[in-house]
Structure 1
Amino acid sequence: MIEVRPADRFDDVAVLLGPKKNPDASVCWCLSHRLDSKTNTSLTGPARGEYVRDLCGRDTAPGVLAYLGPEPVGWAGVAPRRDLPIARSRVVPTVDAQPVWSIFCIRVRPGYRGQGVARELVEGAVGLARDHGAPAVEAVPVDNSAEKVNLTMAFVGFRSLFEQAGFVKVADTTSVAGGFPRIVMRRQLD
């Protein structure tokens, strides 16, 4: 049974997002779409993990984690859209003035894919946003028409995943990931 909880345990977040072999590596840590470019670039090596450690200690978790038993197996980054670089994007439109939250990253560990973890992560991210007063949640997945997507670019999610979770397309974008167009999808909560 998959359980989804707020990502407030740094050690579990590190299992999903941290460097696997070299602790000094400058891996993403799911900061590339959370921080402005200048701040993101300025954080290197262990400073990236320390930034995420700080995020995990705040009142609002930086996302959600999926567990199978005690094992963290999936991550979804979610935050108020206004706090993310996407709010200033020239390629992803702002649909309206609602203070929506945005799911900007989904990651499922190898060996646990194809078991419904991503679907549970989306529901957990929606729940976190709802618990913090969001009127709606958006995502900008690829519209891949069931074609295979390079796993490196799959972190944005797929249209079908979000449709299954009750999201509907609300806008086109000029953004592309893995050769596929991305679309804005939304799930109203109120």
Structure 2
Amino acid sequence: MTFRQHMEQAVGHALTQFPAGAVPDIYTITFRIDSVDQDPRFPYLAIGYNTESEVARLLEGPGPVDPWEVRWSYAYFPPSGLEGVHVAGHDPERDPVGSGLHRQESLAQGLWYEDGDELSEQDRDERDERLEARFHELCVDLARDLHAGGRIVETLGRPLPVILYDMFNPDEMFALTKAANPAALVADFMSAYSGEDG
């Protein structure tokens, strides 16, 4: 099994773990891209969701809030959207199989290194950047595959957007999410994007 195949299985399985009672209320699937101890060699994906009820609860609370922020910003996501229901990737504690596959493939690609390896800082930085970019690309592909293969509709009963965000690179959230979804599904999300590509 490849790391990609492992991740595909993990993402599909995560959708089946969404509580049945919450499914009619879910409006988005969340992909939180992160890494163990902020180390790009150990990337993982937390797969979760958010609900209309959670948005309504926050909008009814005290103080002014921006409706777009409440709906789409991970700063407002509950544990189901931030921590997710399932973690997959190079997290030795939560996904030992994925960790082994990711390390093996990173070695084969010449990207893996150990802390004690004699590498220049520039070489480490370049490998880190490539590892991070590859994982981001994989997460985008995983979301695209959920749409193209009909897995979201099959499991949750209707098309839903997949919001991708990296908490250490929030500016990339729009580019990742735009690349991962049909445009119509993320029109409201992308309405706050002011970048040149928007």
Range class of TM-score, shorter chain: 0.3 to 0.5
Give 1 or 2 for the bigger CA radius of gyration.
2
Larger RCO (alpha carbons 8 Å, 6+ apart): 2
Query: Which is richer in helix?
Result: 2
More strand by share: 1
TM-score by length of 1: 0.32
After TM superposition, the score normalised by the length of structure 2 is 0.32
